[in-house]
Amino acid sequence: QQNVQQSPESLIVPEGARTSLNCTFSDSASQYFWWYRQHSGKAPKALMSIFSNGEKEEGRFTIHLNKASLHFSLHIRDSQPSDSALYLCAVNPNYKPTFGKGTSLVVHP
């Protein structure tokens, strides 16, 4: 069974900071990697995904994937108060998307 771990559990940063969230997985056959964002009281919503080793940038958000290290990360540049949310990483083994426990991010003005 896939084991997905996220760190840190929670993070408080000032507005404008660069924020880094981490995710490790156990199944080296995993092919697809996602970050979801969940604002308080709302449904999770897909933020970004990556399918091959390397880096992918979309606006202020960047994903890094290193399959050999079983690790991927999300970096947020110029963090905004609206980025305050629970961030969930997800990995797919065998058609069963598995999520980490999440990182709670608070960006204070």
Partner 1 sequence: EAAVTQSPRSKVAVTGGKVTLSCHQTNNHDYMYWYRQDTGHGLRLIHYSYVADSTEKGDIPDGYKASRPSQENFSLILELASLSQTAVYFCASSDGWGTSAETLYFGSGTRLTVL
Binding mask 44-83 for partner 1 (x = CB under 8 A): xxx--x-x--------------------------------
Q: How far apart are CA 40 and CA 30, in angstroms?
A: 29
Strand partners, 38: 86
Q: How far apart are CA 22 and CA 25, in angstroms?
A: 10
Among the residue ranges 17-25, 38-46, 64-72, 75-83, the one whose residues contact partner 1 (CB under 8 A): 38-46
Tokens of 27: 């199944």
Residues that bind partner 1 (CB under 8 A): 1, 6, 31-32, 34, 36, 42-46, 49, 51, 88, 90, 92, 94-102
